[in-house]
């Protein structure tokens, strides 16, 4: 493996070679190194990286894993030490492959791995315990291969917000793994597009892509081999890896409200969500409600579940300066569980008492014709949504089911009084800052709307205080605590 970048040296004892390569790696002289019986060989970084990327092993400290003559440091799960040297005939062995990742400051972790073979040397150089090879400067992989921009609703919004916050304040090294249809989804973190994942946008295309990935996970796994922990923020564990894994389970709606799903949708969720959640080392849920339902319906061990609330972008969702206008806002796509029909029944009652008020819907799926006093805005930009929050007399949220419930908090942060359903996670999220109602009772919905409209200052003050307690920084810190549990 000699090249123009090779620096010949006389034969070295392993300890001397490690000390020498530590010096070179730390001072930036080289980015990768190969130690063999003939001395220290410093290959070009890209050649070494290409070889490592081709390795089909659980961890990335090996060279040329696709060739039978490959040699290096590999996982040996039958050994008490956990690691061993491989001998080969190329040209003679043994060799030890060392690789740093500048972008994630991995030198210390690398040599902790090596400590399983040359523990005393590493203890001398770094003062580290060689029995703790996976705790220092480890890399967290964020696998978003099933991402389809604009098609995944709240789970996509939550995942993107988490990544943005980790890019700002995260204290661990990260890499985001993205599908070809979402090359810009890293949100400021180091990212890699996994070209082997089939491009998919429509539901049939997505099912095919996931099926192919499940049938042939090897090429995808190789990309994630460098990660010490892999987090799947969109629930589906593609590709599964040998590293400890974290799955975010956003809800169990298909089990709690099965009538709202087609048979094919239920079967897909059972296959993908259940398997992913049950096989994960940790499961993150956005509310205690989802935790309790996951234990009850999926049989998950509650000790593996961590409740981490979503946050609010308090730089974006802020009160406006414009006057409040006479409309009540419901920001939701017209999915069955969003309960639009009962809200429309309630609205006829509200209009009799407050004829000046309009009801404004956003999101897709609404019919072309709307009743009197109802306005459909359809798909709108994020800035338009903030503007509506800032100008609305009140926000109503009659949903039958939420795993978290972001819109009520966003509305509160913008100073809008909120009337909310008392179903699922919404009481947990809204607390006493929203006037809660039975979403199955149109009269209860109407009365709650009228009550918050009549006392806006009280509900506005409660809302500000409640929304302030939900931040993405706190959410990101809690996620990092989960990752550290597994390192």
Confidence check: pLDDT of 59 > 70: no
- The reply to whether omega before 239 is within 30° of 0 (cis) is yes
What's CA 237's distance to the chain center, in Å? 11
CA–CA separation, 410 and 317 (whole Å): 6
What pLDDT is attached to residue 81?
25
Task: Output the pLDDT for position 89.
Answer: 29
Statement: residue 387 has pLDDT above 70: yes
Q: Is the pLDDT of residue 416 over 50?
A: yes
- Intra-chain end-to-end CA distance of the chain, in Å: 33
Single pTM value for the model: 0.72
pLDDT in tens, 293-320: 999 999 999 999 999 999 999 999 999 9
Q: Helices (H), strands (E): how many in the chain?
A: 17, 18
Strands (E), 6-120: 32-36, 39-41, 73-75, 83-85, 96-99
Residue 207 has what pLDDT?
A: 81
Which structure tokens are listed for 365?
A: 């799926």
pLDDT digits (tens, 9 = 90+) for 328-357: 999 998 999 999 999 999 999 999 999 999
Model pLDDT, residue 150: 77
pLDDT band of residue 185 (cuts 50, 70, 90) is very high
Dist CA 450 CA 385 (whole Å): 23
How far apart, in whole angstroms, are the C-alpha atoms of residue 331 and residue 342?
15
- pLDDT tens-digit readout, 136-184: 457 999 999 989 887 777 889 999 999 999 999 999 999 999 999 899 9
Query: What is the percent of the chain with per-residue pLDDT over 70, rounded to a whole number?
Result: 72
Residue predicted with more confidence, 360 or 152: 360
Segment 68-95 shows an average pLDDT of 30
Question: Could you give the residue ranges of the DSSP H alpha helices within 333-471?
Answer: 340-353, 382-391, 406-413, 426-430, 442-454, 456-468
- pLDDT tops 50 at residue 74: no
Residue 130 has pLDDT above 80, yes or no: no
Residue 23's pLDDT is 55
Residue range 6-43, pLDDT digits in tens: 333 443 344 444 455 555 545 555 444 444 444 444 44
Work out whether the CA dihedral 310, 313, 314, 319 comes out positive or negative. negative
Residue 216's pLDDT is 85
- Tokens 């990327």 belong to residue: 53
Average pLDDT over every residue of 250-267: 90
CA dist., res. 407 & res. 363, Å (int): 12
Task: State percent of the chain over pLDDT 90.
Answer: 55
The structure tokens 């061990």 sit at 301
Q: Model confidence over 104-113: pLDDT tens digits? A: 334 334 433 4
Cα 46-49-50 angle, rounded to 5 deg: 85
Q: Region 429-457: what's the mean pLDDT?
A: 98
Taking 80 as the threshold, does the pLDDT of residue 118 lie above it? no
Say if residue 117's pLDDT is above 80: no
Question: What confidence score (pLDDT) does residue 57 get?
Answer: 30
The whole-number average pLDDT for the span 40-51 is: 40
If you average pLDDT over every residue of the chain, what do you get?
A: 78
Q: Is the peptide bond before 371 cis (omega within 30 degrees of 0)?
A: no
Domains of the chain (ranges, CATH numbers): 14-126 (no CATH), 140-311+475-486 (3.40.50.2000), 325-468 (3.40.50.2000)
Looking at per-residue confidence, does 421 or 24 come out higher? 421
Rounded average pLDDT over 69-84: 28
Confidence check: pLDDT of 208 > 60: yes
Residue 109's pLDDT is what?
Answer: 41
């Amino acid at each position: 493996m000699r090249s123009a970048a090779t620096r010949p040296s006389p034969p070295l004892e392993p300890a001397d070679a490690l000390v020498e390569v530590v010096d070179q790696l730390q001072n930036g002289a080289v980015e990768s190194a190969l130690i063999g019986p003939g001395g220290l060989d410093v290959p070009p970084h890209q050649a070494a990286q290409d070889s490592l990327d081709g390795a089909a092993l659980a961890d990335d400290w090996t060279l040329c894993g696709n060739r039978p003559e490959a040699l290096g440091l590999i996982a040996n799960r039958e050994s008490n030490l956990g690691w061993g040297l491989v001998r080969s005939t190329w040209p003679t062995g043994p060799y030890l492959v060392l690789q740093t990742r500048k972008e994630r400051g991995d030198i210390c972790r690398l040599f902790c791995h090596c400590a399983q073979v040359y523990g005393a040397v590493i203890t001398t150089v770094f003062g580290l315990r060689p029995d703790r090879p996976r705790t220092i400067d480890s890399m967290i992989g964020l696998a978003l291969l099933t991402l389809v921009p604009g098609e995944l609703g709240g789970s996509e919004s939550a995942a993107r917000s988490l990544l943005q916050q980790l890019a700002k304040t995260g204290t661990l090294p990260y890499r985001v793994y993205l599908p070809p249809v979402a090359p810009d989804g890293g949100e400021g973190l180091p990212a890699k597009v996994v070209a082997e994942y089939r491009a998919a946008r429509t539901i049939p295309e997505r099912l095919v892509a996931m099926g192919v990935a499940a049938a042939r996970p090897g090429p995808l796994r190789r990309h994630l081999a460098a990660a010490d922990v892999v987090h799947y923020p969109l629930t589906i564990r593609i590709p599964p890896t040998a590293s400890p894994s974290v799955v975010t389970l956003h809800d169990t709606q298909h089990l709690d409200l099965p009538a709202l799903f087609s048979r094919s949708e239920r079967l897909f969720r059972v296959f993908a969500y259940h398997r992913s959640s049950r096989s994960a080392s940790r499961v993150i849920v956005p509310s205690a409600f989802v935790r309790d339902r996951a234990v009850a319906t999926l049989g998950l061990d509650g000790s593996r579940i961590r409740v981490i609330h979503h946050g609010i972008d308090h730089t974006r969702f802020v009160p406006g300066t414009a006057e409040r206008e006479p409309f009540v806002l419901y920001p939701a796509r017209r999915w069955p569980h969003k309960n639009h029909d009962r809200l429309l029944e309630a609205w006829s009652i509200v209009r009799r008492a407050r004829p000046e008020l309009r009801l404004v819907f956003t999101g897709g799926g609404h019919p072309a014709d709307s009743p009197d006093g109802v306005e459909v805005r359809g798909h709108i930009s994020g800035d338009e949504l903030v503007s509506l929050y800032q100008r609305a007399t009140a926000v109503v949220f009659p949903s039958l089911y939420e795993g978290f419930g972001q819109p009520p908090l966003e509305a509160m942060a913008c100073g809008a009084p909120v009337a909310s359903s008392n179903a699922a996670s919404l009481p947990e999220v809204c607390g006493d800052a929203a006037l809660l109602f039975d979403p199955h009772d149109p009269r209860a919905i109407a009365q709650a709307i009228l009550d918050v409209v009549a006392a806006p200052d009280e509900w506005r003050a409660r809302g500000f205080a409640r929304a302030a307690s939900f931040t993405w920084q706190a959410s990101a810190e809690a996620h990092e605590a989960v990752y550290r549990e597994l390192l």
